[in-house]
């Protein structure tokens, strides 16, 4: 019984920490130093994420998908 409580507490802390880190990454300002415009290409979200990463509008393409 005691082991399950400890496991549940550790799991809750891990999930809470992961959610906090994800929220901070989501709400952080982007890497753009100045306003910029790009032409958004037609294609899949993976191609769009790559184009935005190449233009340095987003830092990590997997966060956009």
Same domain flag for 4 and 26: yes
Same domain flag for 4 and 24: yes
Residue 54's nearest CA partner among 35, 31, 34 is 31
Same domain flag for 39 and 60: yes
Structure confidence at residue 32 (pLDDT): 66
| Domain span including residue 8 | 1-30
Q: What's this model's pTM, rounded to 2 decimal places?
A: 0.51
Structure confidence at residue 56 (pLDDT): 80
User: How many domains are there within the chain?
Assistant: 2
Res. 42 pLDDT band, cuts 50 70 90: confident
Same domain flag for 6 and 24: yes
Same domain flag for 43 and 16: no
Alpha-carbon separation of residue 42 from 39, 50, 58 (angstroms)? 9, 12, 18
Q: First CA to last CA across the chain, in angstroms?
A: 41
Element (H, E) at 61: helix 61-64
- Using the predicted structure, report yes or no on whether residue 40 has a pLDDT greater than 90: no
Same domain flag for 46 and 57: yes
User: What mean pLDDT comes out for the span 23-45?
Assistant: 79
- Using the predicted structure, report yes or no on whether residue 65 has a pLDDT greater than 80: no
Same domain flag for 3 and 22: yes
């Amino acid at each position: 019984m005691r082991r399950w409580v400890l496991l549940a507490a550790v799991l809750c802390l891990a999930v809470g920490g992961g959610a906090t880190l994800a929220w901070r990454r989501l709400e952080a300002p982007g890497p753009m130093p100045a306003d910029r415009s790009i032409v958004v290409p037609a294609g899949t979200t993976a191609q769009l994420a790559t184009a935005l990463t190449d233009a340095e509008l987003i830092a990590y393409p997997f966060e956009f998908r």
